[in-house]
Structures are given as C-alpha cells and as structure tokens.
C-alpha cells in the first residue's frame, strides 16, 4: 500500500507527501534513455517532477525516504520534489530540554580535539552531547522535520507550537534563554533572516532556456537550418535572444527589488536578556523563539515576531495592514480569564509586535524595561509569509489559460494530421527520406506559433500601462484578465463607500435611567467635569508623535471635540516620579470651572469632588474587533480610587452595564439614529475599588474591569457617503454586477447607508437573518426580521406577501431579484456557517449587507461566494480587509502604503471610482487576449493550409516568404491589435471566460473553413488556367496575357530544387497574406468592450500600409520584390481574379463574423442562455418582434443543442431552484431551527408559521 501523508493539514499550503529512495536499475535505464533521446528524456523529467522521481526511485516509507514527492491538495494539484537531509542534534525537537552536560558546555570550553573542525563549527556547544539524527527537507524556504510520534514530517513555526498560555509566557518564558539553548534551537529554526537569494544570471538563464517554449524554438531553429532557411531561423534566434534578455532583466530586477526591500532593516543589533539576568548585545540573525529582547526607548524596526509582556509600544504597522494610523500595543495579560487562554498570534495581535513593523515609541515605568518574547523568526513571521507568497505565488486560476493549453493541444493534433499526411504523400511520390523527415517535422513548427506567448503578453502589458495612467497600480498583471469577469464586488463601508473621517453630530447623555435631550456642543463649561466628557477625553489610543496627535480618526474627532489637551511625559520626567502616569489629559485652563467643588453634590455624573481636572491614563485595553470595544483605567490626580471608562458598539456596551442604568428607550433611540445612517458609539463608566493599586491594575484582565458598568450615553458620529459612491454603484448594477457591503459597523447603520447609496433600492425589502447559537438545550435558530420599508409599510404581517416591486409574483427570478435583500451580522454569519451550512449559499445569493463582520469573516464570505462560482472583487481601505483582498479574484486596495503588497491592485484615488475603471480595462484586456489568441491560431492554420496544399505538388513557401509573413505581417499586427483601449461604458454583457465557449469556437471554425475554401479555390483555379504549366526558369506566363503587360519580369537563374518558384506558390502566397489581414480586422472587435479599431491608429496604419504594399506588388510587379520573395510573374487577368477572390474572402469573413455570429447567434442563442438570469424587459409595442426572436431562438437553440441547457454557474442554478421554492424567502417573524441539513426551509418553517398565526396581528408587526 502506497504511504501518503498530509502535511500542513487544514492550511492554505496543505500538501500530500510520499517517500522514495534511489533505485539503481531505474537510474541506469533513465541514463540509457537520455543518451538515446539526445537529452530529451531528461528535459521531460525536469518538466514533470512526478515522473522524474518515479522513474529513478522506488517507493518507501517516509521515515526511510531519501527524496519526498509533494503534491498540493488545492485545485492546481502541483507536484514538487525535495531531497531529505540529515542533521545531528542533541534532541529531536527544538523545545526539548538539554541535559546538564550540554547546558553547561560553553562554546569556548574544553572539548575533545578529535572532533572534526566542520563538526565543531556546526555543533559547537553540543560536541560532547550524545547526538541523534534528525531528518528534514526544505520546501519553499520552509523546513519540515520528521516526527517519530506522528510518523510524519511537521513544520515548527515558533513558540506557538508549545500551546503556551498567556500566564505561562509571563512565568516560564520571560527570563530568556541561555546561550547553549539558543544555539540548540537555532539548529532547527535557522538564522533569523528572510533571505531572498538573488540567483546568478547563469542560473536564471538556464532556467529560462529550459522552458518548453524555448526548447520548441530551438528544435524549430535546428530544423530550419537543416532546410537552409537561415534568414528566418536567424530572425527567430534574434527575437528569442531579445525575449530572453528582457525576461532575465525583469526577473533579476524583481529579485533585487525584493531583496533590497527585505534586507533594508533585516539585520540589526538587539539587546537580549539571558537567564542569568544579564543583557547582552547580539545580532538579530541569532534570535530564536523563546529569546527575550529589550525594545529601546526610541523604537526599532522589529526583526522578528514577538509578544510584548512588559510595557507598551506605539507601532506603525502600515507595512502589514495598510493602516497609516499608529497602533498601541499593550503587554500580554497575565491573570484572570485572559491569562489562562492559549496564546494565539491572531487573537492576541494587540499584544504582538510583527516583523518589519516600526516601533515608534515605548511607554515604560521608572527604569523598568520594555520587553518582548520572540515568538517566530525568519520565514515563519508574518513578513516572512508575505515574502514567501511573493517568491512562490500560486498559479493564476483562470479558465482562459486552461483553455489556451487545450487549444494548443488541438493545434498539435492538427499538426499530427499534417505530419502523417506529409509522410504518406511524400512516400507515395518517392521523396528522399531526409526530405520526408524534415518536411514532416516542419509542419509541426508551422502549426504551433512560436510568437504566441509574446503576443498574448502584449495586451496585458498595455492594459497595465493604461491602468497606471488612471492611478491604479498592479503587482499581479495576470489578474487583469480576471477583472473582466467580475460579477460581484464586495465593498468595505468606512473609508471606502463613506468618508474616512467622522464628524461629531452630537451626544445624548443618560441620566437616571433615561436619555436627556441631544447636545451638539461638548466643550461647554457645564460638561467639563462630567463622566461623559472624561470618558471622551481618556478612552482612546491617541499618542503624540513629534508633537502631533496621532491615532484612529474616530478617536481624534472625539478627543478634539472635548477641547482637552493631551500631555505625555518625557524620559526625564519618568525617572523623577514613581509611579508616573504615562499620559495625562486635562481641559484648557479657561474651561476649568472654578466652582465645580460646590456643584459636585448636585451633579450625578461627576467622578468626585476634586480640585483639579487632570486625569492620568493608568492602563489601556485596546480596541478589539472581536470584542467591539475598548476601555481604559484612569485616575484623577489627587484621588485615591481609580475609574474605568468603556466605549464601543452600543449593544455590547449596554450588555456590560447594570440594567437599571440603561435607559428604557435605548433600543428605540439607537434605531432612530442608525436608521438615519449615523454611527453610534456608547460610553460607560465604573468607579473601581480604592484598594486597587497601580501594580494590581496592571495584572488585571479586561473581563474584570469591563463589568457592572454605569451607562453614560451615546456619541453620535456622522459618516458621510463619498460623492462618487452612488454613481459608481449604479453603474455597476446597470452592468449586472452585484454589489455587497461588508462592514464592521452597526447593522441598521449599514442598511441605511446601503439604501442611501443605492445598493438597496427604496422599494426593496431588507430581511435581517438574526441567528442565535444553541443554548440551554435549545437548538440554534434564525429569526427572520423584516425592517421597515421607507417606501411603504406592511399592513398585515399575518398574510404578508413579499412586495415584488411593480408587479406581482410571476415565477421569474428577475422580479424576485428586485424584491428583497438579506442582511446578516457577523455573529449570525458564524452561527449559520456552523449550524445551517445548507442555508449559507441560499442566504448569500440574496444577501447585500454584512455588518459587524470580523476580518476573518470577510475572508470567509469571499470564499463562500467563490464556492458559488462567482468571480469576486473586493474593495477596501486596507485596514481590516487584507485577508479578503488577498483571497478575492481581484482585490483593490484604496491605500497607497506598503500594505498594497497584500492586494493585486492599489488605487491612488481614495474612492471607488477605480472599480469600474479596473473592470473596463479587465474586459478590454480579456477581449484582447481572445482576439490575439484567435488571430494567432488562424495564422497557424492558414499557413498550415498553404504549406499542406504546396506539399501536394512537392513545393513549399520560401524562406523570405516565411520571413515576410511572420515578421512583417504577423508580429506587427499582433502587437498593434492589442492597443485598443477600453470602452467608456460598462455594459450588462460580460465577455466570455472560455476559449471553448460556443461563440468563440463558431468564430474560429467558420473563419478556418472560409480560409480553407478560398485557398483551395485559388489552388484549383490556377491549375486550370490555359497558361498554366510546370514552372521553369524559362517560363513566361506574363507574355501570354492580353492585358498589356508584355514585359517579362521573371528572373532567369538556376532552378531551385526546393521548387519554391511556381504558380501555386505565388497564388497561395497572395491569398494567404490577405487572409492574415482580413482575420486580424475581423477579430479586432471594439464595442462593447473596447474602443473601435479605427481609433487604434497604429493598427490602422499597419493594416493600410500592408494592404497598399500587397496590392501594389500584386497588381504592379517589381522585379526586385518578386526576386526577394521568390514569387513568379503571372498574367494580369489572373491577378485581377486573385483580387476578386480576396474581396470575396473578406466579404464572407465579415458577413460570418459580424452578421451571423455577433448578431444572430449571440442575440438568439448564446445570450438567450443567460436571459433567464437577467431582469426581464416589460412588455411593449415590440411584442411581435420579441415573439419572432423567441421562435428563432428556440429553433437555433435546438440546432446548437442548447435548448433547456442548465446553467454552469452554481449561483445561477441555485437562483432557478429558489424560483420554484414558494417558502423562500421566509415570511416575517418566522423562526428557522437547526435540524437535519437535508431538511428544506419549507419543512423548518412549518412550526414557526403555526406559532406566528396564533399571535396577535399587532405582535406580528413587530420585529422579533
């Protein structure tokens, strides 16, 4: 049984691994085969790693393997091979403890001199230890070590592998490592560096030249040289050299740029704490997981991933997240619920310093150092993972490229037919064996165009250049074509659809369990001493950098509205006080009320009777997306007790407050604001016990602080929609591109913004799917809540019929699509994925608003959409959207910072107008790729037909004829036809994504048949002319003509054995050269995806120039040109006949492509297949025409076997299913319970409906 194990299980780079060992007899056989094949067998094994391993090795267990064969488990199923190495170490795992002999042995201690120098250099401190063998292999800059327990290879990431708790990190890992233990761990984790090795030019050259394309070219050049086609072979060599040099320059430049970017700050000096309390200076390359480093006061560029366990840091993480706002990193909790949690880098990112990020400042107390434990090093760090994704990108998953290979295989099949025909025909005509071999192989080189890759790349390069002109930068050019197929785009809200900054609209304080009137002025004197303003002034993560306040835009607006001043102590001040508050806020002096002491008893919301208003921030619990809140512990100067302030999502804050302090009208008031699109934040306060000391507060978990709070009120922020948003969304919807909102904001705020910007139509219903996890023996359930419709209200929810817009339900998806939208919160999304997996795709199909979504949930949503066969775009500001931007087919970041590396596209404009621009250019690039591919395919087939016909008379095209066709016609046309820019509008049609689609295949096949017919016609007619004879140097057909051209232009010379000069050759040369131009113009389409070809002046000038030249040499022969191109003089009447044939060929080609394919077949067959999924047009006066269209469509669909053909895309198939489901969407106020996944929604709703009908009509109108 073949042993296959899985490594990286459940991760993105999951792979199957199997073991092999060398086999002598197989290696001998391969060696003999390589010699016999002239090295071709070795090339084949180089291209196919699986064959390379299996043909030289035999299968064995992984433990005994010398070579491992890896295969990815994703859709690409790539093969890799890796050699297994053996190293000697004193343990088998990096976190094993060393024995006392190894621990005490210092590098400069007494050792046995018999130990080899190499052994001593490598194992220095462990030379006297009992060493064991450790097997490992390296793949994509990552080491995998053999684990005897698992009987598999495993990856050691870092300290996280120990599953250590936060409390344990403080107690067991805060003292640092000994030098011996550090050296031991370095054996496993290697040097702490992200080493981007820049390959030598020689290595790059060998790798580039061994590309199958260049090997095929080498084969072609050798073949042409044997045929004495030196000029054409030289031209191909020249083009190949230019292509290789350009490619090598580009690749080398990219390597150097990446190396310089990584190496800029990769090696620094750091202060490392040792177990004996000493602090020593070391190079950052020596760090290993478990080391404790000191963060200097003036900051540093982090050389590793480390978790902060002592002190606070201000960090700029723009390199990773794209967020330019510095973030505050606090020390890891060491007690309470948070302390017993297992440390996780994602969960505890607010305490983790990431490699490559810039620590700007540190916050420390009385001489105590800011320390961090190294968690990951090298390529295991977040920055290392990013660099790995750039060094080893996944193949581009796009149907175009898959189909291109299939199409090339078809061309190879055609070449095989020509190959067999040539051999049989040549044998029948007793052609010499050498000529048979050369000519039969030559037909293969003709059929597969050598210039295809370069021509295909040109269109993408031009599109990338045009995108750069409109401020869109691309780091993954192959994804430009994907943008042409986008059919759903997800948008972040804040900073993307709406303005990044928030304006403070007002506040609404809570007093005695009820709300007071809204107030717009916060900085007035009467509010200075209130807890509400104190919370606004302290509950933030602002800091001063170079004298300027910096931090989250919301925090900046909130703090500036108070008019207070923030002061941070200098290093000198810190040394003088014990303890000292790291940050102090105070109101301006003129705002401090002098009589506040006398008013203190009458003001219920004051903190206490104080003589000063300065407040020191003792501890900060940073904002958490998962918790949706942040809090601070503060202390008024001169007061013994401390206070806690909390701000966050209103629902979350209210749940943490004492119930009697939350106003009864809380829900109604909140809905009033959120329905109007305001962003609402709740504030809360709690007075802490007097016995709490400063040191005690530092060790408390936030769960202890954030409870039993007193509700203070609401902060109402106005988030204005960007002026471009509504227009862009309307344009996308008119182009049949779905738009979704994925935000971390409040649900009702998100729905309001969705209505305001046009994402949800005014008359459309919005159904909130409110899911609750199982609790107290109750199964998980979804409550379907219908929000109020601004256009009209539902009068009777007991017998409610879902509003279908203008008409009533008629069973079509189109009306249903206009009727309702689902809205889902992040909590509900998680519950539905876990407990209702059978409903998630139904829900996502019609969901438009996703609120309170965590960053990882945004990525999950993109994956769900992709699983439904959507081509997904994601547009965000780069702050919390990095995962979704990377996962989407096309991620567009509105941030210009270094984090744009995470996104294939980055826009310099901070609004979503870049999205339609990108889609337009993507569609243009995709159509250009199709045009070029079709043209290059037709070029090969046309030349194949010409050569095959000439082979039948033992002739061929001449060297200079090949040269003229391939260089002058094909290359200039291929590179200029790609210059058409994008069409100015987005149309509802999308370009086909497949070369195997019916429309494209019909186009190619009809043009092939047309070219074949007219070439055969010319070939047959020329042989039937009265003046036709077997051409010899003495032939003079021109003098036979009565046209007046009596001058002989045939050049007398020695007869060519290759039989190039003859009437068939000349006639086919003229016909085929015009055919190349005809198909180029026919395929170079403009509207609706590209600008018309007449606006592409390089292409038009090229076509006009070539037409003029060809007509001139055909109708008015030039002896020098005829001699160069090896064509013979033919009568003028025959030349006129050829012109007529050419005109007829052009007319038929245009008629077939434009009239039949573009108008009739597309309108009635191919578009008809999508008609069911498009909004139906209302009936009009054109009903008879539509009836005729339907009749014709039915007939043609039957002819093309497309009648009732089900849609390929899963989301279309699902839409048709739901069209027949009368119980979808669920009725208002119904509840769906988790049940057997096989149950349908109609079964699940029966009980809920019965319960709903028993309730009063008034009750059913309320939201559950």
Alpha helices, DSSP H, located in 499-552:
531-538
DSSP, residue by residue, 1210-1252:
HHHHHHHHHHT-TT-SPPTT-EEE---TTS-HHHHHHHHHHHH
β partners of residue 1232: 782
| CB within 8 Å of 138: residues ≥ 6 apart | 82, 85, 144
Alpha carbon distance 585, 642 (integer Å): 15
Q: Which helix (H) or strand (E) holds 504?
A: strand 503-511
Q: Tell me phi and psi for residue 650, to 5 degrees.
A: -55, -45
3-class SS at 690? coil
Alpha carbon distance 616, 440 (integer Å): 88
Q: Are 1004 and 938 in contact (CB under 8 A)?
A: yes
Asked if the peptide bond before residue 1225 counts as cis, ω within 30 degrees of 0, the response is yes
Q: What is the DSSP letter of 995?
A: T
Max CA distance (Å), the chain: 126
**Up-side HSE of residue 851: CA atoms within 13 Å toward CB?**
21
Burial of 432 (0-12, 13-18, 19+ CB in 10 A): exposed
- Which candidate, 204, 214, 731, 261, places its Cα nearest to that of 475? 261
**Up-side HSE of residue 114: CA atoms within 13 Å toward CB?**
1
| Identified catalytic residue from 183, 305, 338, 492 | 492
Q: In what order do the strands lie in the sheet with 312-316?
A: 300-301, 358-363, 312-316, 327-329
Which is it for strands 872-876 and 488-491: parallel, antiparallel or unpaired? parallel
**Up-side HSE of residue 1246: CA atoms within 13 Å toward CB?**
6
Q: Tell me phi and psi for residue 550, to 5 degrees.
A: -140, 145
| CB within 8 Å of 1076: residues ≥ 6 apart | 938, 939, 942, 965, 969, 970, 973
Q: How far is CA 4 from CA 53, 59, 153, 1115, in A?
A: 15, 10, 11, 71
Q: Which helix (H) or strand (E) holds 292?
A: strand 292-294
From first CA to last CA, the distance across the chain in angstroms is 58
**Up-side HSE of residue 882: CA atoms within 13 Å toward CB?**
17
- Residue length, the chain? 1264
- Whether 492 is catalytic is yes
State the angle between helix axes of 399-428 and 433-447 in degrees (0 to 180), rounded to the nearest 10: 160
| CB within 8 Å of 943: residues ≥ 6 apart | 446, 957, 965, 1072
Distance of CA 199 to the CA centre of its chain: 27
Burial of 692 (0-12, 13-18, 19+ CB in 10 A): middle
- Which candidate, 398, 44, 18, 435, places its Cα nearest to that of 216? 44
Exposure letters 829-861 (e unless 16+ CB within 10 A, then b): bbbbbebbeebbebbbbbbbbbbbbbbbbbbbb
3-class SS at 679? strand
Secondary-structure breakdown of the chain: helix, strand, coil percentages, each rounded to the nearest 5: 45, 20, 35
Q: Tell me phi and psi for residue 361, to 5 degrees.
A: -145, 160
* Catalytically active residues, by annotation: 492
């Amino acid at each position: 049984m073949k042993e296959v194990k899985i490594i990286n299980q459940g991760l993105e780079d999951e792979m199957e691994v199997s073991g092999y060992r060398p086999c002598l007899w197989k290696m001998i056989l391969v060696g003999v085969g390589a010699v016999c094949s002239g090295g071709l067998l070795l090339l084949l094994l180089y291209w196919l790693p699986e064959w390379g391993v299996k043909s030289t090795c035999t299968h064995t267990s992984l433990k005994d393997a010398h070579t491992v064969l890896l295969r990815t488990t994703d859709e690409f199923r790539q093969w890799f091979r890796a050699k297994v190495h053996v190293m000697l170490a004193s343990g088998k795992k990096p976190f094993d403890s060393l024995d006392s002999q190894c621990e005490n042995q210092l590098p400069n201690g007494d050792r046995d001199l018999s130990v080899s120098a190499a052994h001593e250099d490598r194992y220095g401190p462990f030379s006297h230890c009992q060493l064991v063998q450790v097997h490992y292999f390296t793949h994509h800059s990552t080491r995998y070590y053999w684990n005897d327990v698992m009987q598999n290879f495993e990856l050691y990431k870092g300290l996280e592998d120990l599953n250590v708790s936060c409390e344990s990190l403080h107690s067991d890992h805060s003292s640092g490592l000994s030098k011996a233990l550090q050296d031991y761990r370095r054996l496993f984790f290697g040097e702490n560096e992200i080493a981007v090795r820049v390959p030598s030019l020689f290595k790059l050259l060998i790798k580039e030249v061994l590309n199958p394309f260049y090997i095929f070219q080498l084969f072609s050049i050798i073949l042409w040289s044997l045929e004495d086609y030196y000029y054409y072979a030289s031209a191909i060599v020249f083009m190949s050299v230019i292509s290789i040099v350009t490619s090598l320059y580009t690749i080398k430049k990219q390597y150097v740029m990446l190396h310089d970017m990584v190496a800029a700050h990769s090696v620094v000096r750091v202060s490392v704490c040792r177990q004996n309390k000493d602090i020593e200076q070391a190079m950052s390359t020596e760090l290993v997981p478990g080391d404790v480093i000191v963060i200097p006061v003036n900051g540093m560029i982090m050389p590793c991933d480390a978790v902060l366990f002592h002190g606070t840091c201000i960090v700029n993480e723009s390199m990773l997240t794209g967020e330019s706002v510095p973030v505050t990193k606090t020390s890891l909790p060491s007690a309470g619920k948070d302390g017993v949690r297992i440390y996780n880098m994602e969960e505890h990112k607010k305490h983790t310093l990431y490699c490559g990020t810039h620590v700007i400042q540190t916050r420390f107390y009385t001489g105590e150092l800011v320390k961090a434990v190294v968690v990951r090093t090298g390529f295991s760090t977040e920055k290392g993972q990013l660099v790995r994704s750039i060094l080893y990108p996944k193949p581009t998953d796009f149907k175009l490229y898959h189909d291109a290979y299939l199409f090339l295989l078809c061309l190879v099949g055609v070449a095989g037919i020509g190959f067999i025909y040539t051999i049989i025909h040549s044998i029948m005509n007793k052609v010499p064996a050498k000529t048979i071999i050369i000519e039969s192989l030559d037909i293969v080189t003709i059929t597969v165009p050598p210039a295809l890759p370069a021509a295909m790349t040109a269109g993408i390069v031009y599109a990338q250049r045009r995108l750069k002109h409109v401020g869109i930068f691309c780091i993954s050019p192959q994804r430009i074509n994907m943008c042409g197929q986008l059919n759903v785009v997800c948008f972040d809200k804040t900073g993307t659809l709406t303005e990044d900054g928030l304006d403070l609209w007002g506040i609404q304080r809570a007093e005695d369990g009820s709300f007071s009137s809204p107030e717009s002025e916060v900085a007035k004197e009467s509010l200075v001493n209130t807890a509400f303003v104190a919370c606004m002034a302290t509950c933030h993560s602002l800091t001063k950098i170079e004298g300027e306040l910096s931090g989250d835009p919301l925090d900046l607006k909130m703090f500036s509205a108070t008019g207070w001043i923030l002061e941070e102590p200098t290093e000198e001040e810190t040394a003088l006080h014990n303890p000292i508050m790291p940050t102090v806020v105070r109101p301006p002096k003129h705002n401090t009320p002098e009589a506040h002491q006398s008013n203190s008893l009458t003001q219920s919301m004051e903190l206490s009777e104080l003589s000063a208003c300065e407040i020191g921030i003792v501890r900060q619990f940073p904002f958490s997306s998962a918790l949706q809140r942040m809090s601070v512990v503060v202390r008024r100067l001169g007061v013994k007790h401390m206070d806690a302030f909390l701000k966050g999502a209103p629902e979350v804050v209210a749940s943490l407050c004492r119930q009697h302090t939350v106003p009864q009208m809380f829900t109604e008031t909140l809905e009033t604001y959120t329905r109007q699109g305001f962003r609402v934040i709740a504030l809360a306060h709690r007075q802490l016990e007097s016995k709490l000391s400063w040191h005690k507060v530092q060790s408390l978990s936030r769960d202890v602080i954030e409870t039993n709070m007193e509700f203070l009120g609401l902060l109402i922020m106005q988030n204005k929609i960007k002026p471009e948003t509504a227009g862009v969304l309307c344009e996308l919807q008119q182009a049949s591109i779905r738009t979704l909102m994925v935000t971390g904001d409040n649900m009702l705020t998100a729905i309001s913004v969705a209505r305001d910007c046009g994402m949800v139509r005014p008359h459309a219903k919005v159904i909130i799917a409110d899911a609750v996890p199982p609790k107290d023996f109750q199964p998980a359930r979804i409550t379907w809540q219908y929000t109020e419709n601004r256009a009209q209200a539902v009068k009777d929810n007991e017998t409610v019929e879902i509003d279908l817009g203008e008409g009533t339900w008629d069973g079509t998806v189109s009306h249903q699509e206009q009727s309702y939208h689902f809205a889902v919160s992040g909590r509900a999304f998680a519950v539905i994925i876990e407990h209702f997996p059978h409903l998630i795709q139904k829900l996502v199909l019609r969901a438009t608003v996703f609120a309170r979504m965590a960053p990882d949930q945004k990525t999950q949503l993109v994956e769900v959409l992709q699983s439904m066969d959507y081509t997904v775009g994601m547009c965000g500001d780069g702050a919390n959207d990095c995962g979704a931007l990377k996962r989407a087919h096309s991620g567009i970041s509105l941030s210009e910072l270094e984090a744009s590396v995470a996104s294939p596209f980055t826009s310099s404009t901070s609004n979503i107008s870049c999205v339609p621009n990108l889609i337009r250019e993507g569609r243009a690039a995709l159509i250009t790729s199709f045009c070029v591919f079709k043209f290059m395919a037709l070029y090969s087939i046309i030349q194949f037909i010409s050569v095959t016909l000439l082979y039948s008379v033992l002739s061929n095209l001449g060297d200079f004829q090949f040269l003229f066709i391939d260089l002058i016609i094909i290359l200039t046309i291929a590179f200029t036809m790609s210059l058409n820019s994008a069409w100015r509008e987005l149309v509802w049609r999308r370009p086909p994504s497949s070369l195997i689609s019916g429309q494209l295949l019909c186009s190619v096949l009809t043009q092939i048949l047309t070219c074949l017919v007219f070439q055969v016609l010319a070939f047959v007619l020329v042989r039937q002319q009265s003046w036709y004879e077997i051409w010899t140097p003495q032939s003079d057909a021109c003098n036979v003509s009565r046209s007046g051209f009596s001058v002989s232009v045939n050049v007398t010379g020695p007869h060519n054995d290759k039989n190039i000069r003859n009437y068939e050759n000349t006639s086919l040369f003229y016909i085929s050269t015009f055919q190349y131009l005809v198909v180029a113009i026919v395929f170079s389409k403009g509207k609706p995806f590209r600008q018309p070809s007449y606006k592409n002046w390089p292409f038009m000038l090229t076509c006009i120039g070539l037409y003029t030249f060809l007509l001139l040499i055909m109708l008015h022969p030039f002896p020098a040109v005829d001699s160069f191109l090896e064509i013979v003089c033919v009568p003028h009447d025959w030349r006129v006949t050829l012109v007529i044939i050419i005109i007829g060929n052009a007319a038929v080609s245009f008629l077939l492509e434009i009239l039949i394919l573009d108008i009739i077949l597309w309108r009635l067959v191919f578009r008809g297949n999508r008609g069911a999924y498009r909004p139906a047009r209302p009936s009009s006066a054109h009903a008879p025409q539509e009836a005729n269209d339907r009749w014709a469509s039915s007939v043609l669909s039957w002819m093309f076997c497309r009648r009732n053909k089900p849609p390929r895309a899963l989301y279309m198939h699902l839409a048709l299913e739901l069209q027949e489901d009368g119980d979808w969407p669920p009725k208002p106020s119904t509840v769906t319970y988790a049940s057997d996944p096989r149950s349908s929604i109609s079964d699940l709703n029966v009980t809920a409906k019965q319960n709903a009908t028993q309730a009063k009509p008034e009750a059913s109108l309320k939201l559950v």
